[in-house]
Amino acid sequence: MLSSLSNCSTSIYLHFPHVGDNFYIMNHLNQIRVRFAPSPTGYLHVGGLRTALYNYLFARKNNGVFVLRIEDTDRARYVEGAVENLIDTLNWCGLEYDEGPNKEGEYGPYIQSERLKIYHEHTERLIQTGNAYNCFCTAERIEKLREEQQKRNEQTKYDKHCLKLSKEEIQSKLNEGIPHVVRLNVTIDQKVIVDDIIRGRVEFDSNLIDDQVLIKSDGFPTYHLANVVDDHLMKISHVIRGEEWLPSTPKHVLLYKAFSWDLPIFAHLPLLFNPDKSKLSKRQGDVAVEDYRAKGYLKESLVNFVALLGWNPGTEQEIFSLEGLVNSFSLESVNKSGAVFNIEKLNAFNFEHLRLKNDKDVLAILKELLGKSKYANHTWSDESLLLIIEAMRPRISFVKEIIENSPYFFEAPSTYDEEVLKKRWKDDSSQQLEKLIDEFSKLTNPVKEQYEEALHNAANALEISNGKLIHGVRLAVSGVGGGPGLYDMLFILGKDETIRRIRTAIERMK
RNA sequence: GGCGCUAUCGUCUAACGGUUCAGGACGCUGCCCUCUCAAGGCGGUAAUACGGGUUCGAUUCCCGUUAGCGCUACCA
């Protein structure tokens, strides 16, 4: 496919800074510096989280620096409060950056809209060296050009029309204040090589690369210019980003070349997909980290799950803390192929991480949820909430399920599950439970074993099996057929409440 | 259309040419345990897209086909 290029007059063989098997030993940079460079569109996409995470892990693993840079060069997409939200979400995930907004390092500012002067100075250099030029073409002309090219089934690209303008013409147009952009002057017939840690060597034909706009007519740089200038100035050693950037990387390579700058090392991450393998999008479920946070996912599970989408430690371990991920992570073991974001597995991770959490943390979450629930006016002692947590933890994947699945710990049942009623409540149930109430009444401050003993006594006296009583009590006390062990439930509810609920049930079954 | 990337169970993945009738996890499912629901234990289900090479030997290397995805903006 590249045979037509075999007689190219020039080839760019770019500096490929790897030594032996170790990509990380670099000649020109002695410090690992990576960046996460989102555009503030309002929320953190889970794909963005994965990119941020890999950058973070790589930095931490290699004693490097993790930079957060805000790419807000598209004024049309500006969203109020997006940067604050982004930082908040990143912090919630535990991905603390070393340099960035509100945490200035040597290479700031870290918000691109505050770096306009830098981009213009660099663009001026490019124009002077002939690597870029002013373009005064109207949107209409470009549109028409594109249409014609499409009609002829040609590659759609700018025709370098304004490159032919004389110095005088340019100056006079500039003086007239005619709107213009600055374009990259891509030389033809070159082979542009991108070396990527994950994908190996990828070659591009420069004839297929458009004279990319570098500075828009509003004076803001495009991503292509800004990211190259900033990555260089911020001494970024490794550019770790999504695969959607791979096709425009040759443009970036050409820019580095035009500036006579060394290349960073590239690593293009595989994409995340919807269940139908299309690019992960809002239409098919939640894509914002904030959504998962709101739904009660633990940051530990989200981070752990997302880490394993495209990377694995080479062992069979799946459950990791953030520290564990740092220790095991390497860019070489990142996969090439995209991965489906599978909620079921995320849920399973939440289940696992929920049981790894200590009681105190779960208690804090539960109290927060209760405060936002219909039980906001009630208060429970930490002691009893801890007992509820202990009873429910093996049965849930989310803390909120304690409230959803076992409301009977917080209020008496108002209805009884019909199916269970049919199956477990017989004609003689009421009478049997009366006997049980007698036994329970004899107890003072009973512990769970005493409930068991009392129930046993009642069953013996009635000459029935324990099971007969147990199911009836469970239903009377909880309204449902499932849940923690009966005696645990009774102990948590307490003697008085237990008896009250059994009485209510007997009354209502009449 | 052009360019590029990718291709192992439904999904996430392991296997870095040969201890593989392809391993683990999620899901689904059977049994055990059990006062229920879970959890847990022990099983089961299910994959190398297709076709050519290279090789004594290909999931693994090469080529092609097919499919999926990405990019093709004065968006990132």
Question: Which residues from the 231-290 window of protein chain A have CB within 7 angstroms of nucleic acid chain B?
Answer: 243-248, 270-271, 273, 275, 277-279
**pLDDT computed for residue A23 by the predictor:** 40
Does the active-site annotation cover A282? yes
Same domain, A317 and A347: yes
Same domain, A121 and A209: yes
CATH of the domain at A350: 1.10.1160.10
Q: Quick check: is A254 in a domain? A: no
Smallest CA–C1' separation from A318, nucleotide: B25
Q: Quick check: is A26 in a domain? A: no
Distance from the Cα of residue A451 to its chain's centroid:
47
Same domain, A147 and A206: yes
- Bases of chain B below 7 A from a protein C-beta are 1-8, 10-15, 23-27, 35-39, 64, 68-76
A111 membership: H or E segment, kind and range: none
Work out if A405's Cβ lies within 7 angstroms of strand B. Answer: no
**pLDDT computed for residue A2 by the predictor:** 32
Q: How far, in Å, CA of A444 to CA of A457, rounded?
A: 16
Same domain, A403 and A341: no
Q: How far, in Å, CA of A32 to CA of A59, rounded?
A: 7
Catalytic residue among A282, A295, A336, A372: A282
User: Which residue's C-alpha is at the least distance from the C1' of B7?
Assistant: A337
Smallest CA–C1' separation from A279, nucleotide: B69
**pLDDT computed for residue A190 by the predictor:** 93
**pLDDT computed for residue A70 by the predictor:** 97
One-character DSSP codes across A319-370: ---HHHHHHH--GGGB-SS-EE--HHHHHHHHHHHHHHS-HHHHHHHHHHHH
Q: Which residues contact A361 (CB under 8 A, 6 or more apart)?
A: none
Work out if A46's Cβ lies within 7 angstroms of strand B. Answer: no
Same domain, A143 and A181: yes
Kindly provide the residue ranges of all beta strands, DSSP E only, lying in A124-250, ordered along the sequence: 132-135, 181-184, 190-196, 200-205, 213-215, 238-242
Q: How far is the CA of A173 from the C1' of B42 (A)?
A: 81
At A422, is the secondary structure helix, strand, or coil?
A: helix
Work out if A199's Cβ lies within 7 angstroms of strand B. Answer: yes
Q: Quick check: is A105 in a domain? A: no
Q: Could you report how far apart the first and last alpha carbons of chain A are, in Å?
A: 85
Q: How far, in Å, CA of A88 to CA of A67, rounded?
A: 15
Same domain, A466 and A394: no
Amino acid (1-letter code) at residue A290: E
Question: Which residues from the 96-135 window of protein chain A have CB within 7 angstroms of nucleic acid chain B?
Answer: none
In the structure, how many helices (H) and strands (E) does chain A have? Answer: 20, 12
Smallest CA–C1' separation from A482, nucleotide: B37
Q: How far is the CA of A1 from the C1' of B4 (A)?
A: 12
With CA atoms as reference, report the closest residue to A209 among A239, A245, A228, A185. A185
Two tokens, residue A296: 């009660």
- Which residue in this structure is represented by tokens 């003697």? A495
**pLDDT computed for residue A18 by the predictor:** 32
CATH of the domain at A448: 1.10.10.350
Smallest CA–C1' separation from A40, nucleotide: B76
**pLDDT computed for residue A134 by the predictor:** 96
Same domain, A425 and A479: yes
Amino acid (1-letter code) at residue A139: A
CATH of the domain at A215: 3.90.800.10
Q: How far is the CA of A326 from the C1' of B76 (A)?
A: 28
Same domain, A450 and A306: no
**pLDDT computed for residue A4 by the predictor:** 32
Q: Quick check: is A67 in a domain? A: no
With CA atoms as reference, report the closest residue to A259 among A163, A118, A125, A134. A125
**pLDDT computed for residue A155 by the predictor:** 84
Q: Quick check: is A143 in a domain? A: yes
**pLDDT computed for residue A310 by the predictor:** 96
One-character DSSP codes across A54-95: HHHHHHHHTT-EEEE-B----GGG--TTHHHHHHHHHHHHT-
Q: Are A32 and A63 in contact (CB under 8 A)?
A: yes
Amino acid (1-letter code) at residue A351: F
User: Which residue's C-alpha is at the least distance from the C1' of B15?
Assistant: A314
Smallest CA–C1' separation from A247, nucleotide: B71
Q: How far is the CA of A292 from the C1' of B75 (A)?
A: 26
Two tokens, residue A58: 């790589």
Same domain, A382 and A499: no
| Strands A200-205, A190-196: pairing kind | antiparallel
Same domain, A367 and A486: no
Same domain, A288 and A171: no
Two tokens, residue A287: 């894509």
- In total, how many domains does chain A have? 4
Q: Quick check: is A269 in a domain? A: no
Segments forming the whole domain that contains residue A363: 359-409
Q: How far is the CA of A318 from the C1' of B64 (A)?
A: 38
Question: Which residues from the 465-494 window of protein chain A have CB within 7 angstroms of nucleic acid chain B?
Answer: 466-467, 470-471, 474, 481-487
Other Cβ atoms within 10 Å of A305 Cβ, number: 25
Q: Quick check: is A33 in a domain? A: no
Please tell me whether the interface predicted TM-score (ipTM) of this complex is above 0.85. yes
Regions of chain A short of the pLDDT cut 70: 1-29
Work out if A395's Cβ lies within 7 angstroms of strand B. Answer: yes
With CA atoms as reference, report the closest residue to A29 among A39, A43, A38, A19. A19
Work out if A334's Cβ lies within 7 angstroms of strand B. Answer: no
Same domain, A127 and A193: yes
**pLDDT computed for residue A192 by the predictor:** 96
**pLDDT computed for residue A278 by the predictor:** 82
